[in-house]
Amino acid sequence: MDKITFLGGGSFGSALSILLARKGYDISIWDRNHNIVEDINKNRRNSRYIKDIVFPENIKAYEDMEEAIKHSNFVVIAVPSHVVRSICKSIKDILPKDAVIISIAKGIEEGTYKRISEIICEELENPVVILSGPSHAEEVAIEIPTTVVVTSKDMKYAEKIQDLFMTPNFRVYTNEDIVGVEMGGAVKNIIALAAGICDGIGYGDNAKAALMTRGMYEIMRIGEALGGNRETFFGLTGMGDLIVTCTSMHSRNRRAGILIGQGKTMEEAVEEVGMVVEGIKACKAFYELKERENISMPITDILYKVLFEGEDPIEGVRKLMIRDKKSETY
């Protein structure tokens, strides 16, 4: 069987490692946190990120990256988007040259505004596949039916990863639109954070429906402007991911937003969630990018002001509601 290494012992990486281990693959997990490595190896648990799930015996965790990655056929980058480049630099000289890289990170790089696949391709020469879609780790780990999408610049590798991950409860589609798949997965975190703020304030279903619908327009506007296909955004990585992150308490972005809407600072919310909240960095990066590209993203505008300029969330919603009237399809 192939050997698969996960770089990062977070929740989604752990869930996918369990999925593949149940299929019989030899799984390695690297993490810099000694407690996570010890918990997996000794207790067959990852109590910090994915509670009450037993790790199969064919999963082994490592603190030594070279030892974890040795002889791997597939390497899954399962770290937050802002550390993808540094991880790639770390593995450049130890990565098997025929290994396929799979990224499950969602976001763009601050400053360069590059997509995750672009970052990886700048640092490594291996083929790269992006896996995205509505897939909470907590549900994947207990085999609740889930669907995702994979994409690559060379679709034969995407098809290989489709075969690798497919199970009766984990359905994998392919999509040739790598820009659209990556953009949908990144921008939806911004809208999910805003949706959580609305929930924290105490607004109801009407506000949530409006936010999600208008949020889809923001995803499509910037996604198409950067070269994505509109139909992709109505698929799993756009609409699908938007629905799941805006409505579920599994969503760390929504949970952080709820806390901010209840009056906590951004820093307090992140500390209480206890995990990286990708929507915060995404908001800053996409705010700067849409300013450069002159793209209308009013929800992103207001969220940026709430997060980084101290705007009161209720006042922010008021400003959204009283903007100049326009056609819905404008």
Task: Return the pLDDT at 314.
Answer: 97
Quote the CA–CA distance of 114 and 246 in Å, as a whole number.
25
pLDDT at residue 155 tops 80: yes
pLDDT digits over 51-90, tens only? 889 999 999 999 999 999 999 999 999 999 999 999 999 9
Please, are residues 141 and 21 in contact by the beta-carbon 8 Å criterion? no
Task: Return the pLDDT at 51.
Answer: 85
Please, are residues 132 and 184 in contact by the beta-carbon 8 Å criterion? yes
Mean pLDDT of the chain: 96
In this structure, the number of other CB atoms found within 10 A of the CB of residue 230 comes to: 12
Quote the CA–CA distance of 29 and 59 in Å, as a whole number.
7
Task: Return the pLDDT at 329.
Answer: 84
Task: Return the pLDDT at 1.
Answer: 77
pLDDT digits over 243-283, tens only? 999 999 999 999 999 999 999 999 999 999 998 899 999 99
Task: Return the pLDDT at 184.
Answer: 95
pLDDT at residue 228 tops 90: yes
Integer CA distances (angstroms), 256 to 2, 273, 280, in order = 38, 6, 9
Active site residue 188: yes
Q: What is the CATH number of domain 3-176?
A: 3.40.50.720
Task: Return the pLDDT at 291.
Answer: 96
Interacting residues of 142 by C-beta distance below 8 A, sequence separation 6+ = 53
Q: Where are the alpha helices (DSSP H) in 204-240?
A: 205-225, 230-233
Task: Return the pLDDT at 279.
Answer: 95
Please, are residues 118 and 34 in contact by the beta-carbon 8 Å criterion? no
User: How many helices (H) and strands (E) would you count in the chain?
Assistant: 16, 8
Please spell the DSSP secondary structure of 54-70, one letter per residue. Answer: PPPTTEEEES-HHHHHT
Quote the CA–CA distance of 100 and 97 in Å, as a whole number.
9
Please, are residues 264 and 272 in contact by the beta-carbon 8 Å criterion? yes
pLDDT at residue 139 tops 80: yes
Which of 114, 188, 281, 290 is flagged as catalytic? 188
Task: Return the pLDDT at 52.
Answer: 87
- For residue 21 the two structure tokens come to 């281990």
Quote the CA–CA distance of 322 and 330 in Å, as a whole number.
16
In this structure, the number of other CB atoms found within 10 A of the CB of residue 43 comes to: 11
Domain boundaries, the chain: 3-176, 186-321
- For residue 7 the two structure tokens come to 């770089």
Looking at CATH, the fold of the domain delimited by 186-321 is given as N-(1-d-carboxylethyl)-l-norvaline Dehydrogenase; domain 2 (1.10.1040)
Task: Return the pLDDT at 91.
Answer: 97
